[in-house]
């Protein structure tokens, strides 16, 4: 079994290289260090395993942009599970198709889209977890009592998980197509697929000395998987600025602030 390109192991190696205390991500005025992101992912991986998520299980993410999107992907790879992003704008019928076609074990959802996910998952044996921690200040946070569902913070209360062994050719992500030629289809991406895509993306974006990246695009798209895998190869002085939504005035302000 080759684990040279296991994404969780690459994440550990990368953290050792760049240091735990380096501020690598900015979101809505707050900076996150690599150590913060890594530790939360390790604890969420433990919470996933406590709730029965096993190697190869599909976990669907219906999430607006926040640090927890990349953290969840990293946690899933650490637990040996398969990240399955779904665009948060999809209606319940299309979300249900993804849940059933993927054989999803769990779905993690931002509070703004909980109603759609509950409608999509009605009658299905799929657990729902709400990400209410890093929601935008413009979106009301939901207390656990409001929906009676576990949150990512609940999962993060677990002990950190060790890395589950996975082969380079094992599935790391299941990415659903846009459905323009029929029903949306799941595209299988292995750990090696995403490792090499991340490496190529890193080399392409650092040729001209690019050190700061503004990210307004949806991480629920394949873009999010690529950004997360590129981050596993980033240089110590590279930083990312994440936006929850694209908003033109905010883009201009952030460019001025971080250029």
Domain assignment present for 221: yes
Whole-angstrom Cα distance, residue 121 to residue 42? 27
- Total number of domains constituting the chain: 1
- 183-212 b/e with 16+ CB inside 10 Å = b? ebebeebbbbbbbebbbebbeeeeeeeeee
Q: What's the pLDDT at 199?
A: 84
**Backbone φ and ψ of 40, nearest 5°:** -65, -40
The residues facing 33 across adjacent strands are 23
Residue 160 and residue 218: Cα distance in Å, rounded? 28
Please give the pLDDT value at position 259. Answer: 80
- Residue 62 in any domain: the answer is yes
Residue 27 included in any domain: yes
Q: Tens-digit pLDDT profile for the chain (259 aa)? A: 677 889 999 999 989 988 899 998 999 999 999 999 999 999 999 999 999 999 999 999 999 999 999 999 999 999 999 999 999 999 999 999 999 999 999 999 999 999 999 999 999 999 999 998 655 444 444 554 466 899 999 999 999 999 999 999 999 999 999 877 888 999 999 999 998 988 888 887 766 656 788 999 898 888 878 888 877 777 777 889 999 999 999 999 999 998 8
Give the per-residue pLDDT at 210: 61
Host domain of residue 63: 7-201+212-258
Question: pLDDT at position 230, please?
Answer: 78
Q: What is the pLDDT of residue 137?
A: 46
Rounded CA-CA distance 24/18 in Å is 10
Question: For the domain that residue 99 is a member of, what is the CATH number?
Answer: 3.40.50.12780
Is 206 a domain residue? no
The answer to whether residue 1 sits within a structural domain is: no
* 212, two tokens: 């700061």
CB atoms within 10 A of CB 4: 11
In-domain check, residue 123: yes
pTM over 0.75: yes
Q: Is residue 79 part of a domain?
A: yes
pLDDT at 225: 82
Is residue 207, in this structure, part of any structural domain at all?
Answer: no
Round to whole Å and give the CA distance between 163 and 168. Answer: 14
């Amino acid at each position: 079994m080759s684990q040279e390109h296991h994404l969780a192991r690459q994440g550990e190696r990368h953290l050792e290289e760049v240091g735990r205390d380096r501020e690598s991500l900015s979101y809505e005025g707050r900076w996150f260090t690599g150590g913060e992101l890594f530790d939360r992912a390790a604890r969420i991986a433990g919470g996933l395993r406590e709730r029965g998520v096993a190697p190869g299980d599909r976990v669907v993410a219906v999430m607006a942009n926040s640090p927890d999107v990349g953290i969840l992907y990293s946690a899933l790879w650490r637990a040996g599970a398969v990240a399955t992003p779904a665009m948060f704008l999809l209606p319940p019928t299309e979300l249900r198709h993804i849940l059933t076609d993927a054989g999803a074990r769990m779905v993690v959802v931002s509070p703004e889209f909980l109603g759609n996910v509950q409608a999509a998952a009605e009658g299905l044996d799929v657990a729902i977890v709400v990400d209410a921690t890093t929601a935008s200040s413009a979106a009301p946070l939901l207390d656990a009592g409001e929906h009676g569902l576990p949150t990512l913070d609940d999962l993060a209360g677990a002990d950190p998980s060790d890395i589950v062994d996975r082969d380079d050719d094992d599935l790391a992500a299941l990415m659903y197509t846009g459905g323009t030629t029929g029903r949306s289809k799941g595209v299988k991406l292995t750990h090696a697929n995403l490792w090499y895509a991340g490496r190529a993306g890193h080399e392409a974006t650092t040729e001209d000395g690019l050190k700061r990246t503004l990210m307004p695009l949806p991480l629920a798209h394949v873009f999010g998987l690529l950004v997360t895998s590129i981050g596993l190869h980033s240089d110590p002085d590279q930083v990312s600025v994440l936006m929850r939504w694209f908003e033109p005035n905010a883009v201009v302000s952030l460019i001025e602030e971080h250029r």
